[in-house]
Amino acid sequence: MGRGRVQMKRIENPVHRQVTFCKRRAGLLKKAKELSVLCDAEIGVVIFSAHGKLYELATKGTMQELIERYGKYTGGPPADEPMVEPMQDAKKEIEMLKQEIEILQKGPRWTLCFKKSKC
């Protein structure tokens, strides 16, 4: 007789949640290794726990090499260039838009006249 279906919702008890995390993490990493061996695939798995701890698996080489290969494949930034954080990128865009607004406000003001009479 098999197990019943597991309901997909957050486990409220923190001890049970941690035990489940450890067991399922181990199972996921085991499956990734098996897939790599059986199918000769290069696999990288990155897991961050709820406490911020990093767990990673690179089946061939290092995780850094795998990430660099992924970046080349997807057209991402080269590995020797640092990645710009999204917040820095947004701040630059905000500054550029503020400068554009200032230029537009200081520039000549055009008034549109929609009446037939002279403005």
Could you tell me the pTM of the whole model?
Answer: 0.59
Q: What is the pLDDT of residues 68-84, one digit of tens each?
A: 999 998 886 655 555 55
> CA gyration radius for the chain?
27
What DSSP string describes 14-72? HHHHHHHHHHHHHHHHHHHHHHHHHHT---EEEEE-TT--EEEEESSS-HHHHHHHHHH
Q: What is the pLDDT of residues 54-72, one digit of tens each?
A: 999 999 989 999 999 999 9
The helices-and-strands tally (H runs, E runs) of the chain is: 3, 2
Domain ranges for the chain: 14-82
At the fourth CATH level, the homologous superfamily of domain 14-82 is Transcription factor, MADS-box (3.40.1810.10)
CA distance 36 to 21: 22
